[in-house]
Amino acid sequence: MGKAELPLHAPGTKVDRGYIGESVPRPGLQRLLQGRGAFIDDLRFPRLAHVAFFRSPYAHALVKKLDFKAALRAPGVIAVLDGRAVAEYCTPWVAVLAHLKGIKSPPQHAIAIERACWQGEAVAAVVAESRSQAEDAVALIEAEWKELPVVVDMDDALAGRNVIHPDLGDNICFKREHDTGGVDDAFSSAVVVVEETFHFGRHTGVCLEGRAILADYNAGEHSLTVYHATQAPHMMQDIFSRHLNIPEANVRVITKDVGGSFGIKVHVYPDEMATAAISVMLRRPVKFVADRLESFLSDIHAREHKAKVRLACSKEGDILAFDLDDVTAIGPYSVYPRTSGIEGNQVVNLTGGPYKHQKYRAKMHVVFTNKNVTCQYRAVGHPIAVALTEGIVDIAAQKLGMDPAEFRRRNLIADDAYPYTFPSGIKFEKLSHHKTLDLLLQKMDYKALRAEQAELRKQKIYRGIGLASMIEVTNPSPAFYGVGGARISAQDGATLRLEPTGMLTVMCSVTEQGQGTEAIFAQIAASAVGVSLAKVKVITGDTGITPYGGGTWASRGAGIGGEAVLLAGRALRSNMLDVAAAMLKMDKAELDIAGNAVVHKLTTEKKLELAELGRVAYFRPDTLPLDFQSELTVTRHYTPRQYGFTFTNGIQASLLEVDPDSGFVKLLKHWCVEDSGTVINPMLVDEQLRGGVVQGIGAALFEECIYGPDGQLLNGSMADYLVPMAGEMPDIVCAHVETPTMQSQLGAKGVGEAGTAGAPGAIMNAINDALAPLGARVTRMPFTPERILKALKKVD
Amino acid sequence: MDHAVETTLTVNGTRITRRIAPRVHLVDFLRDELGLTGSHIGCEHGVCGACTVRVNGDIVRGCLMLAVQADGCTVETIEGLSDSKELAPLQQAFHEHNALQCGFCTPGMLMAAQDLVRSGTKPTRDEIRAHISGNYCRCTGYQAIVDAIEATINGKG
């Protein structure tokens, strides 16, 4: 059997998987290693203008007057624009989706008109010949403001004493209730009932490269080329087309190197829309790169939840029911076009997800506040759902006097119970909770660690071991956004072209943001066609070149884009064999492709180099039969449809030490066992997990956007907002269970968000495990030394 | 620009004389005036390390040094140390360990790492972590970077 025909997920079959499953280094990295990448700010254009924004210093205020006179006279200034001027070129948007019933949000403009609703919202733009000149002129804008009442607290928002958008009637953007029935009965009959309220701080992505856009309007052809650090080029093409009124095919979005995204760069940002509109207005290229201070004020934030969760349990330790009440505050607008209702919705869908109880009730409110907007950021809702589920599970185990690992083993959904419908309504194709738990306990030598912990406690050394099981949404179908009316593609496509020399060009709609998308597409394409990896060149991130598709989000690149590449590869291989059969005058069924050549299928004797096949197909087709036309460019698409999402599962563990005198947490080690289906490149998967875990550790220990009662961000710089640095991070052990999805030929599920989803819960449980003998518990992330000392009642 | 100061410095072996406004940071000068865009700008307040370059043999933050302060100095950037092959062992180790994802921090990280490599010491993993703790990477979680530096120092790069 040739490499390309492999039934990659056939259980028990021994097949040559080509490069699938190989830890090959990513091709093309030398460019980035030598500082020769092409990030937006590296691009040079003639007549390039730079834009800087005048942002509201108040969390909520009317703009009574903007005086641009001094700014207009400043050196290098080309234009100074308010919201009305930009609105003539860019229509406003409303971020709602039909399947989030009742969700509401007011219209939002590229530049705010009359009123600013958060500190940092842009109310004017200065365009100048250089960024520094634009910033100088911003400082010369004079504004008169009338401050309005500020809503910063989510409970105040819910109570609605001050309504931020009076037209909407209240501060509730979206609410959802879910009830299987029987929850009250389960709680009243339960022997063990536990309850806790968990708080999750608001944090943000801190991509090292700020948001960046360079829009280049050509008035001669009414076309707009946008160089954009985005995760979703086709979505942005549609957005620019509709809101700037330029025909879709005249808009080209090009995404070159992107300096980190993590969900931050998948949204529509008002200042970026303004930049594109200004390019149209001024008929010249215009660039905006968010600097670090404005990134903190204007990149989406995320999380900020307060969740009360109750768990009912039998005396034997069987979980009977979960009861959840979650509130999340999202700032003054739902973010376009994905909405800010998804994270809360995910918390309702996922809470309790690994366990086999049948009764579940949830209530969830999404409220407006006068802080920066929040929206989908790496692992959307999962870190909340996992931490509050695993937090309450540990509390229940503690109350029962059961070991947390044993309590999980008793309650995790059995590995042979699939397909399975969870009480929230979501469906699991096939998960492997018990396999991952067993592997984790073995990898970490759980029993030995527990023994060591007990020994050290005698010496007043407080170590904690925390576990976090999880389920995770990956490979979303159109059920995620499309059904709600969002013009966001759940489908992706790949075009493969055999070049005359026998090389392979792959063009795919999923983008590369550093996760290794292009590398795994090269591996899949090479394996499916039968060429060596060095023969493959991958192109992504250009709506003018690649097939249409969704891009990079929701852990979908490998599972959806990868499947499209596989299908296109198999089709191209078949077409190549047609050419070979015609050239060799042999039966196609006797031929195969391996090692950059056409070979005899049975004897593997080399029959034809691919370079010769290409030469004849492209330059001497006159030598082929008259009724034969070669087709050596092939496009295939893939959309997952059988399930709403292809769920994955995994489990993490943290080992750490808490110093009860200082409140400091020292991370000693972290383990992550994940089932992401077919693993295409183990090294890249592990690195996704590790990076994700560290991002989750940041949320658990360091990161919080702290607002004052007046809605002012108090720590909006990298000197004040702490991120994980190398010195504090542990080594992370990764291991895998592979349960391929049967929905696709490739069998890959997503993995990009798993680390971030599970780490905060594991860290929290480990800290609380360490604090348990001291009678303390922390429930408010991030777990700063101050909060730990407060829990220990050592400070007020 | 009226107060521009004539400044002469050597960048990657080439002697350069320019009139530079005093407020221009070294990294902006390298990027905007010389087109050496490999040194990246991440925070502009000296925390993230993306703009790390070498001046007179020491690594500095290109966003905390003014270009005019480099008058008479020798400046080396990622482009220069790549062309001279000084960074080749580290670059190969970073590649093999996947010690970069988006690559935005990588030039600064390599400059910081090379500083340790050429110190001639045999640092522990904790010491490697401490040495690169002024360089922020959001993608990798740092372990692969530590692995790559360790492999290079131990001659397995």
pLDDT of residue A278: 98
Site of tokens 């040559």 = A16
pLDDT exceeds cutoff 70 at A5: no
Residues A548 and A473 in one domain: no
When CB atoms are compared, the residue of B31, B43, B102 closest to A513 is B102
Answer whether B139 sits within 8 Å of A691, measured CB to CB.
yes
- Tell me which amino acid residue A549 is: G
Q: Are residues B40 and B100 in the same domain?
A: no
Tell me the pLDDT band of B2, cut-offs 50, 70 and 90. Answer: low
Chain B residues touching residue A718 (CB < 8 angstroms): 43, 45, 47-48, 136
Percent of chain A having pLDDT more than 90? 97
Claim to verify: residue B117 and residue B61 sit in the same structural domain? no
Q: Tell me whether the omega of the peptide bond preceding residue A782 falls within 30 degrees of 0, making it cis.
A: yes
Do A638 and A491 contact (CB within 8 A), yes or no? Answer: yes
A25: which chain B residues are within 8 Å (Cβ-Cβ)?
95-96, 98
Please give the angle made by the CA atoms of A558, A562 and A568, to the nearest 5 degrees. 175
- Whichever domain contains B25, its CATH number is 3.10.20.30
Q: Same domain for A351 and A262?
A: no
- When pLDDT is cut at 50, 70 and 90, the band that residue B156 belongs to is low
pLDDT-derived band at A2 (thresholds 50, 70, 90) equals: very low
Out of B55, B81, B107, a domain closes at B81
- CA distance, residue B96 to nearest chain A CA (Å): 6
SS3 assignment, position B108: helix
- Smallest CA–CA separation between A623 and chain B, in Å? 45
pLDDT digits (tens, 9 = 90+) for A639-669: 999 999 999 999 999 999 999 999 999 999 9
Contact yes or no for B34/B78 (Cβ under 8 A): no
**Contact map slice: A 574-593 vs B, CB within 8 A:** none
pLDDT at A709 over 90: yes
Whether residue B75 sits in one domain with residue B99: no
Exposure on the CB side of residue A269, measured as CA atoms within 13 A: 30
Q: For position A715, which CATH number holds? A: 3.30.365.10
Q: Which residues contact A332 (CB under 8 A, 6 or more apart)?
A: A60, A117, A118, A164, A165, A368, A369, A370, A371, A373
Q: Are A241 and A277 in contact (CB under 8 A)?
A: no
Residues B119 and B57 in one domain: no
Search chain A and give the residue with CA nearest B84: A34
Nearest chain A residue to B52, by CA: A35
The pLDDT, as a whole number, for residue A8 is: 41
Residues β-bridged to residue A289: A212
Are B103 and A259 inside 8 Å of each other by CB? yes
Two tokens at B57? 């043999």
CA A787 to CA A199: how far, in whole Å?
Answer: 12
Q: What is the ipTM of this complex?
A: 0.97
A326 and A293, same domain (yes or no): no
Determine the pLDDT at residue A17.
74
Rounded-to-integer distance, Cα A728 and Cα A677, Å? 31
B101–A695 CB contact, under 8 Å: no
Give the pLDDT score at A16.
55
A354 and A333, same domain (yes or no): yes
Q: Is the CB of residue B86 less than 8 Å away from at least one CB of chain A?
A: no
Amino acid (one-letter) located at B139: C
State mean pLDDT over A375-401: 98
Q: In the Cβ-directed half-sphere of A745, how many Cα atoms lie within 13 Å?
A: 20
Cβ under 8 Å to B: A residues 711-730:
717-719, 723-727, 729
Closest CB from A34, A726, A729 relative to B78: A34
- Do the domain assignments include residue A385? yes
Q: Which of B25, B76, B111, B139 to mutate to test the interface with A (most CBs of A within 10 A)?
A: B139
pLDDT band at residue A9, thresholds of 50, 70 and 90? Answer: very low
Average pLDDT, chain A: 96
A171 lies in a domain? Answer: no
Instruction: With H, G, I as helix, E, B as strand and everything else as coil, classify residue A59.
Output: coil
Average pLDDT over residues B27-40: 98
Same domain, B65 and B105: no
Domain match, B130 and B63 both: no
Q: Are residues B18 and B61 in the same domain?
A: yes
> Are residue A368 and residue A413 in the same domain, yes or no?
yes
Confidence of residue B3 (pLDDT cuts 50, 70, 90): confident
Nearest to A675 by CA among A642, A646, A699: A646
Give a yes or no: residue A182 inside a domain. Answer: no
d(CA A129, CA A515): 35
User: How many residue pairs bridge chain A and chain B with CB atoms within 8 Å of each other?
Assistant: 169
Residue A136 in any domain: the answer is yes
Domain-embedded: residue A569: yes
Do B64 and B93 lie in one domain? The reply is no
> What is the distance between the alpha carbons of residues A110 and A91, in angstroms, rounded to a whole number?
8
Do A474 and A533 have their domain in common?
Answer: no
Q: Which residues of B touch A687 (CB under 8 A)?
A: 98, 101, 140-141, 144
Buried (b) or exposed (e) across A641-674, using 16+ Cβ within 10 A? eebbbbbbbbbbbbbbbbebeebebebbebbbbb
Instruction: Give the structural domain span for A526.
Output: 3-9+18-35+491-638
Domain extent at residue B147: 85-153
Chain B residues near residue A732 by CB distance under 8 angstroms: 141, 143
Q: Is residue A486 part of a domain?
A: no
- Residue ending a domain, choose from A277, A298, A319: A298
Q: What is the C-alpha separation between A765 and A777, in angstroms, rounded?
A: 9
Cβ contacts of A36 on chain B, cutoff 8 Å: 38, 79, 82
Q: What is the largest CA-CA distance in chain B?
A: 53
Burial class of residue A98, CB neighbours in 10 A (0-12, 13-18, 19+): exposed
Q: Do A33 and B95 touch (CB under 8 A)?
A: yes
Residues of A in contact with B143 (CB under 8 A): 690, 729, 731-732
CATH of the domain at A124: 3.90.1170.50
Closest to A104 (Cα-Cα) out of A178, A177, A165: A165
Q: Flag whether pLDDT at A7 surpasses 70.
A: no
Indicate whether A712 pLDDT > 70.
Answer: yes
Of B31, B136, B143, which has the smallest distance from its Cβ to A690's Cβ?
A: B143
**Is residue A132 domain-shared with residue A260, that is, in the same domain?**
yes
CB A493 within 8 A of CB A635: yes
According to the model, what pLDDT value does residue A361 have? 98
Contact status, residue A122 vs residue A271, Cβ threshold 8 Å: yes
Same domain, A111 and A227: yes
- pLDDT value of position B155: 83
Provide the pLDDT for residue A311: 98
For chain A, say whether B122 makes contact (Cβ under 8 Å): no
Same domain, B10 and B59: yes
* DSSP character string of A595-654: TTEEEETTT--EEEEHHHHHHHHHH-GGGS-TT-----EEEEEE---SSSS--EEEEEEE
d(CA A336, CA A68): 30
Domain boundary among B64, B81, B98: B81
Can you list the alpha helix ranges (DSSP code H) found in A162-202?
183-189
What's the domain count of chain A? 3
**Residue in B36, B48, B91 closest to A718 by CB:** B48
C-alpha neighbours within 13 Å on the C-beta side of residue A549: 35
Q: In the prediction, which pLDDT does A11 show?
A: 38
- Residues A564-580 pLDDT 10s: 999 999 999 999 999 99
Give the whole-number percent of chain A exceeding pLDDT 70.
98
State how beta strands A591-594 and A597-600 pair.
antiparallel
Query: Within a 10 A sphere around the Cβ of B8, how many other Cβ atoms?
Result: 12
- Predicted local confidence at residue A12, as pLDDT: 37
Residue B74 and residue B107 in one domain: no
**Cα distance between residue A643 and residue A623, in whole Å:** 49
Last residue in a domain, options A268, A298, A328: A298
Q: Do A80 and A31 belong together in one domain?
A: no
Over residues A92-128, the pLDDT tens digits come to 999 999 999 999 999 999 999 999 999 999 999 999 9
Q: Is residue B13 packed enough to be buried (19+ CB in 10 Å), middle (13-18) or exposed (0-12)?
A: exposed
Residues A122 and A258 grouped into a single domain: yes
Phi, psi of B95 (to 5 degrees): -65, -50
> Are A280 and A409 members of one domain?
no
pLDDT digits (tens, 9 = 90+) for A722-734: 999 999 999 999 9
B89 with B56, same domain: the answer is no
Residue of A nearest to B104 (CA): A259
On average, the pLDDT of chain B sits at 96
Q: What is the pLDDT of residue A350?
A: 98
Query: Between chains, do A33 and B144 touch, taking CB under 8 Å as contact?
Result: no
- Rounded mean pLDDT of B52-68? 98
Check CB contact of A41 with chain B, cutoff 8 Å: yes
Burial annotation A125-147 (CB, 10 A radius, 16+ → b, else e): bbbbebbbbbebbbebbebebee
Min Cα separation A25/chain B (Å): 6
Residue type for A191, please?
A: V
Same domain? For B76 and B105 the reply is no
**Whole-number Å distance between alpha carbons of A172 and A102:** 10
Residue A258 has its nearest CB partner, among B39, B96, B102, at B102
Instruction: Taking each helix axis as running N to C, give the angle between helix A433-444 and helix A446-458, from 0 to 180 degrees, rounded to the nearest 10.
Output: 50
How many secondary structure helices (H) and strands (E) does chain B include?
A: 6, 5
Distance CA A428, CA A471 (A): 9
- What pLDDT, in 10s, does the model give residues A311-369? 999 999 999 999 999 999 999 999 999 999 999 999 999 999 999 999 999 999 999 99
Q: Say how far apart CA A582 and CA A597 lie, in whole Å.
A: 15
Q: Are A344 and A326 in contact (CB under 8 A)?
A: yes
Last residue of a domain, one of A607, A638, A669: A638
**Phi/psi at A605 (nearest 5 deg)?**
-65, 135
Task: Determine the pLDDT at residue A732.
Answer: 98
Mutate to test the interface with B, among A725, A728, A729, A732 (most CBs of B within 10 A): A725
Calpha distance A715→A70 (Å, rounded)? 31
- The β-bridge partners of A657 are A463, A666
The total domain count for chain B is 2
Q: What is the CATH number of the domain that holds B91?
A: 1.10.150.120
Q: Given an 8 Å threshold on Cβ–Cβ distance, is A34 in contact with B41?
A: no
User: Minimal Cα–Cα distance from A164 to chain B, Å?
Assistant: 33
Q: Which of B47, B98, B138 sits opposite A26 (nearest CB)?
A: B98
Does the CB of A749 have a partner CB in chain B at under 8 Å? no
Cis peptide before A337, with omega less than 30 degrees from 0?
yes
Choosing from B62, B81, B100, the residue where a domain stops is B81
Within 10 A of A720 (CB to CB), how many other CB atoms are there? 12
- A244-269 burial: b if 16+ Cβ within 10 Å, else e: bebeeebbbbbbbbbbbbbbbbbbbb
Cα dihedral A486, A551, A384, A121, rounded to 10, equals -70
Q: Do A726 and B78 make contact, defined as CB atoms within 8 angstroms?
A: no
A192 domain residue, yes or no: no
Cα-only R_g, chain A: 28
Between the two ends of chain B, the Cα-to-Cα distance in Å is 47
A42-93: per-residue pLDDT in tens? 999 999 999 999 999 999 999 999 999 999 999 999 999 999 999 999 999 9
In a domain, A187, yes or no: no
Q: Are residues A363 and A467 in the same domain?
A: yes
Q: Mean pLDDT, to the nearest integer, of A578-604?
A: 95
